[in-house]
Amino acid sequence: MFNNVKLFLRLQNIFPKRTHNNVNTSSEVNAVAYVVSVGTAVPSYRLSKEEARATVRRLFGGAYEHLDRLLSIFDNSGIDERYSCVPAEWFETKHSVEEKHRLYVQNAIDLAERAIRECMESAGTDVSRIDHLIFVSTTGTVTPSIDAYLYNRLPFRRDVKRTPVWGLGCAGGAAGLARAYEYVSAFPDHMCLVVSVELCGLTFIADDRSKSNLVATSLFADGAAAALVAGSACRSSRGPRIAAAKSTIWPDTLDVMGWDVTNDGLKVVFSRDIPTLIHQEMYGNVSEFLQQHGISVETIDRYVLHPGGMKVLRAYEEALGLADDRLGYSRSVLRRYGNMSSATVFFVLKEAMADRSEASRGLVGALGPGFSSELLLLEWS
């Protein structure tokens, strides 16, 4: 009995009690991680708003009595242009799952490599310094995973750790960044590379005349990004510090967004309730996260939020009490690139890091299937 008590006390020291708010704070784990650089890449086919709308008009012609009224969504999307790995005419015919898969693999590898090279060049280092490679995607899957193909394209070390992440949708990029933060906090002399590739266009199903598919065509685009996250002991030029991360998942929300797997491929699930959920949940979620650090929403200088669409951005502004100009990075990325799912938040982060105006705190945020949220607190010195 006495020996069991001693063992219990010893385990208490090894595994201290945790709170149940799923928030990692620097005071709790002495975590230090820096976002050193971000690289981005888009495919070669550029689609203007007018081209995208004309394509959808041809695709959905006859499906709806008041199609022109529905197509006004393009005027209200906030997207002027986007990029695709296939030309516009590709969307007008059916394609097999196998063809989509092959296009995904080829383009995902190429775009990821470009994003990585830009990221490494900006950081003044090379991939041989990378200890952990996290690959994020939701629009395609392959075994061996894309990170293995990247290993055979670029001079990563043979002992590089690899973590492919699938299924987190638009939240995947922020989740990958959070996992990198946790990793380098535990190994301060390590570097972690987070790579995200999303080829949303390849999931399009020509026979799907649903409103969800129409809305998706007005928003989604293709792109890739890479972010280098370094521990405190790394000799590297330091960007903003990641001070904390928080993951949240809400019950009974499985039908809010995601994929239905069909014989024609991945069919989009896209609920109209997303802005409503943001109104109901986001302020409390963000406030709870920030209060763990003794700060409030009013102290955030830069918002690095995934721009799911204009309705989502307006819901963020209303829920958090933000003026229109507070989400300038997100609006700019949405206008020029569209919604690239998990990769988009890195495009927004790149703009925030390029802004040389004075700032002290930033909030990274993205929402995804589950229904879930990923938040990170950034600090500029």
Q: How many domains does the chain have?
A: 2
- Give yes or no: residues 180 and 120 share one domain: yes
- Give yes or no: residues 225 and 272 share one domain: no
Q: Determine, yes or no, domain membership for 197.
A: yes
**Considering the chain, what is the average pLDDT of its residues?**
87
Query: Which pLDDT score, from 0 to 100, does residue 194 have?
Result: 98
- Which residues, including other chains, have CB under 8 Å from residue 269's CB and lie 6 or more apart? 212, 255, 256, 257, 258, 259, 260
Helix (H) or strand (E) holding 334: helix 328-337
- Give yes or no: residues 202 and 252 share one domain: no
A 10 A CB-CB count for 229 gives: 29
pLDDT tens digits for range 262-315? 888 888 887 777 888 888 888 888 999 999 888 888 889 999 999 988 888 999
Is 163 strand, coil or helix? strand
Last residue of a domain, one of 231, 262, 277: 231
Query: Which pLDDT score, from 0 to 100, does residue 357 have?
Result: 83
- Give yes or no: residues 155 and 44 share one domain: yes
- Give yes or no: residues 159 and 225 share one domain: yes
Considering 170, 192, 200, 234, which one is annotated as catalytic?
A: 170
- Give yes or no: residues 296 and 173 share one domain: no
pLDDT tens digits for range 42-96? 999 999 988 888 888 887 777 677 777 878 888 888 899 999 999 988 988 889 9
Q: Determine, yes or no, domain membership for 17.
A: no
Last residue of a domain, one of 211, 231, 251: 231
Question: Structural domain of residue 326, as residue ranges?
Answer: 241-379
Is-catalytic flag, 234? Answer: no
Query: Nearest to residue 203, comparing CAs of 249, 118, 159, 140?
Result: 140
Distance CA 379, CA 381 (A): 7
Q: Determine, yes or no, domain membership for 95.
A: yes
Q: Which residues of the chain have pLDDT under 70?
A: 1-31, 63, 237
Query: Which pLDDT score, from 0 to 100, does residue 31 have?
Result: 67
Distance CA 322, CA 304 (A): 13
Last residue of a domain, one of 198, 231, 264: 231
- Give yes or no: residues 267 and 357 share one domain: yes
CATH code: domain of residue 370: 3.40.47.10
Is 176 strand, coil or helix? helix
Query: Which pLDDT score, from 0 to 100, does residue 6 have?
Result: 43
- Give yes or no: residues 211 and 97 share one domain: yes
Query: Which pLDDT score, from 0 to 100, does residue 18 have?
Result: 44
- Give yes or no: residues 57 and 205 share one domain: yes
- Give yes or no: residues 194 and 280 share one domain: no
- Give yes or no: residues 224 and 276 share one domain: no
| CA 55, 274, 168, 316 torsion-angle sign | positive
Distance CA 104, CA 138 (A): 11
